[in-house]
């Protein structure tokens, strides 16, 4: 069967691969991995006969031709991508040529760096009555943003922003968030190489300070930027707590055990 698996490698730590992703690596005859972002340690489960190729120097045509070549030969073929293939993974650009070649596709999700970064920093992206919305986006650079998706417009919602591919644009981020009425004292968390052993760095600053902090730490790639009204909530004295676990709240699995007046 002619088939290519697109597998999310997660944020870096190979143990954050899904069990299915790990099993497919063990079974693969040919793996094309995004070496600029995916840790080579993810290939630890590959069999000795597996053909492993780093794609960091390849063009789109070279990538799709490689995948087609091995799939046509009947190999079990994998494209191993950073994070989750559906998010900034050029998935459809790669899938279309494979569709034309009559090759079946299956996608296995992965842990994206926004989640890994929040976990590393022990932060929550949502809190009751603070924000219930998370926006995954990036800042306009060489690739333009669609109408209505400028950072200022997104930031005007004052919810959680997880910004990918934007660490070199911190000056612009500050300008756009200030224009959306965020304060210079707004907390910003930057996580470099979330979950990468001995390489992960976590910076906590404010809109006013984070650019210089990143410059001092020499962080200029592979970093997640989180701006959110929830940041630092671990140290707040009071929280609006979830109704799910409230003793005065009844739901289909549990009846209230305390009187709301008492």
Domain boundaries, the chain: 3-108, 113-235
Lowest-confidence segment of 50-59, 149-158, 169-178, 244-253 by average pLDDT: 244-253
The pLDDT of residue 172 is above 70: yes
Of the two residues 40 and 233, the one the predictor is more confident about is 233
What is the rounded average pLDDT of the residues 76-87?
96
Contact (CB, 8 A) for 14 and 38:
no
Sheet holding 201-206, edge to edge: 134-138, 160-164, 223-227, 187-192, 201-206
- In this model, does residue 77 exceed pLDDT 50? yes
Mean pLDDT of 27-37: 92
What is the rounded CA–CA span in Å between residue 58 and residue 78?
A: 16
Q: Does the pLDDT value for residue 251 go beyond 80?
A: no
pTM: 0.91
What pLDDT was estimated at residue 262? 46
Q: What percent of the chain has pLDDT over 90?
A: 84
SS3 of residue 10 by DSSP: strand
Instruction: Reply yes or no on domain 3-108 having CATH 3.40.1010.10.
Output: yes
Query: Which of 214, 206, 195, 220 has its CA nearest to residue 121?
Result: 195
Residue 214 has pLDDT above 70, yes or no: yes
113-235 CATH choice from 3.40.630.10, 3.40.50.300, 3.90.226.10, 3.30.950.10: 3.30.950.10
Give the gyration radius of the chain's Cα atoms: 22
Asked if domains 3-108 and 113-235 share a fold, the reply is: no
């Amino acid at each position: 069967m002619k088939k290519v698996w697109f597998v999310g490698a997660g944020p870096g730590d190979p143990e954050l691969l899904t069990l299915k992703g790990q099993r497919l690596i063990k079974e693969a005859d040919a793996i094309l991995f995004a070496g600029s972002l995916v840790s080579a340690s993810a290939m630890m489960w590959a069999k000795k006969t597996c053909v492993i190729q780093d794609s960091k120097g390849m063009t789109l045509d070279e990538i799709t031709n490689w995948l087609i070549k091995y799939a046509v030969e009947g190999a079990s073929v994998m494209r191993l991508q950073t994070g989750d293939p559906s998010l900034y993974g050029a998935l459809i650009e790669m899938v279309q040529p494979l569709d034309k070649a009559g090759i079946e596709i299956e996608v296995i999700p992965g842990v994206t760096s926004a989640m890994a970064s929040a976990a590393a920093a022990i932060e929550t992206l949502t809190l009751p009555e603070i924000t219930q919305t998370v926006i995954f986006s990036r800042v306009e650079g060489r690739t333009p943003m669609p109408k209505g998706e400028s950072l200022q417009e997104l930031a005007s919602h004052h919810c959680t922003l997880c910004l990918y591919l934007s660490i070199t644009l911190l000056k612009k981020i500050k300008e756009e968030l200030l224009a959306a009425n965020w304060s210079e004292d707004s907390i910003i968390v930057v996580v470099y190489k979330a979950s990468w052993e001995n390489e992960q760095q976590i910076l906590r600053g404010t809109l006013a300070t984070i650019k210089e902090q990143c410059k001092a730490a020499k962080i200029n790639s592979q970093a997640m930027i989180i701006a959110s009204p929830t940041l630092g909530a671990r140290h707040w004295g009071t929280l609006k707590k979830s109704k799910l676990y409230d003793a005065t709240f009844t739901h289909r699995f549990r009846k209230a055990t305390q009187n709301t007046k008492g």
